[in-house]
């Protein structure tokens, strides 16, 4: 009986039992990992990796950036736009 | 004193000599008002992300100025008048840099706090010895 239970549990872990199947790798904040404390608005190459094609600011849920760094990043992107380093919009 | 970063873009059709005099003119305004130029960074000719006054390129110059704020008002007033300057942007950076220093210090402190705890491991049995002594006392 105990072995039956174990089998049952084993199959669920294998992903056959439905429910949460896709366990995505946990996103991590790029700025925390690289220990960046100040985001410079003049660094076009770094900022453009957080600005998708349309010119919008990439949301946190996609990039995985932590809230502190996302706030700093958003400010930097907005400054960069005024300095013509980043576009306001592209189509 | 506050730290400011003054970025301005000079029209691409200005000559090299004119660019130099323009930069000197701006920095003179700052020094005359009692501010000091901490850094002058000429980023050179760059493509603009969008056209400004029908220009697609521009010479980027970044001045880092330490001052009270009064000279920034004067510099901006001058820049607004000069036609060769197609865009300017002033950012106060001392508070952000201070915040960055704070983050760095906190991280250093955390790293320092973590390091001794792992190195104290050889001394850990001492705590167990103390406990044993207490137990013995209880028995007596």
Provide the pLDDT for residue B73.
Answer: 92
Distance from CA of A30 to the nearest CA of B (A): 16
ipTM score here?
0.73
DSSP B16: H
Residue of B49, B86, B92 to mutate, testing the A interface (most A Cβ within 10 Å of its Cβ):
B49
Q: How confident is the model at residue A22 (pLDDT cuts 50, 70, 90)?
A: confident
Same domain, B107 and B48: no
Instruction: Identify the domain containing residue B102 by its residue range.
Output: 97-139
Residues B39, B75, single domain; the answer is: yes
With 70 as the cut, is the pLDDT of residue A6 above it?
no
Q: How far is CA B47 from the centre of its chain?
A: 24
- Measure in Å the smallest separation between the Cα of B74 and chain A Cα atoms: 20
pLDDT at A58: 94
DSSP secondary structure of B64-120: EEEE-SHHHHHHHHHHHH-TTEEEEEEEE-HHHHHHHHHHHHHHHHHHHHHHHHHHT
Q: What is the mean pLDDT of chain A?
A: 80
Evaluate if residue A25 carries a pLDDT over 90.
Answer: no
The pLDDT value given to residue B56: 94
Q: What is the mean pLDDT of residues A41-57?
A: 92
Name the residue in chain B with its Cα closest to that of A37. B100
b/e burial code for range B92-108 (CB count within 10 A of at least 16 → b): ebeebeeebeeeeeeee
Nearest-neighbour CA in chain B from A89: distance (Å): 9
Sites in chain B below the pLDDT cut of 50: 128-133, 137, 139-140
Q: Are B108 and B74 in contact (CB under 8 A)?
A: no
Q: Which helix (H) or strand (E) holds A21?
A: none
List chain A domain ranges. Answer: 29-91
A44 is written with which tokens?
């076009």
Indicate whether A56 pLDDT > 90.
yes
Strands (E), chain A: none
Interface test with chain B among A83, A86, A88, by most B beta carbons within 10 Å: A83
Residues B71 and B106 in one domain: no
| SS3 state of residue A75 | helix
In this structure, what CATH number is given to the domain that contains residue B24? 3.30.70.60
Structural domains in chain B (count): 2
Q: CA A91 to CA A43: how far, in whole Å? A: 23
My answer on whether B87 and B102 are in the same domain is no
Q: Burial, B113: exposed, middle or buried (Cβ in 10 Å; 0-12, 13-18, 19+)?
A: exposed
Using CA atoms, how far apart are residues B126 and B123, in angstroms rounded to an integer? 6
| pLDDT at residue A23 tops 90 | no
CATH (one of 3.30.70.100, 4.10.640.10, 3.40.50.800, 3.40.50.970) for A29-91: 4.10.640.10
Judge whether A59 is closer than 8 Å to chain B, CB to CB: no
Residues B63 and B109 in one domain: no
Question: Do both B11 and B59 map to the same domain?
Answer: yes
Q: Does A41 touch chain B (CB under 8 A)?
A: yes
What is the bridge-based pairing of β-strands B36-52 and B55-67?
antiparallel
């Amino acid at each position: 009986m105990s072995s039956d239970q174990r089998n049952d549990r084993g199959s669920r872990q294998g992903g056959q039992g439905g429910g949460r199947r896709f366990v995505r790798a946990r996103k991590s904040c790029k700025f925390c990992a690289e220990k960046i404390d100040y985001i410079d608005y003049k660094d076009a190459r770094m900022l453009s990796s957080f600005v998708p094609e349309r010119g919008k600011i990439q949301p946190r849920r996609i990039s995985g950036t932590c809230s502190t760094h996302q706030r700093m990043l958003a400010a930097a992107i907005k400054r960069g736009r005024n300095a013509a380093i980043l576009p306001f919009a592209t189509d | 004193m506050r730290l400011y970063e003054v970025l301005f873009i000079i029209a691409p059709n200005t000559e090299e000599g004119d660019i130099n005099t323009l930069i000197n003119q701006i920095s003179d305004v700052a020094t005359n008002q009692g501010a000091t130029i901490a850094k002058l960074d000429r980023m050179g000719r760059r493509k603009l992300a969008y056209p400004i006054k029908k220009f697609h390129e521009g010479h980027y110059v970044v001045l880092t100025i330490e001052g009270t704020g009064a000279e920034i008002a004067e510099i901006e007033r001058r820049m607004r008048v000069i036609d060769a300057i197609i865009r300017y942007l002033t950012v106060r950076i001392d508070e952000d840099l201070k915040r960055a220093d704070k983050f760095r210090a906190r991280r250093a402190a955390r790293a320092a706090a973590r390091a001794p705890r792992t190195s104290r491991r050889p001394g850990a049995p001492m705590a167990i010895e103390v406990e044993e002594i207490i137990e013995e006392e209880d028995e007596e």
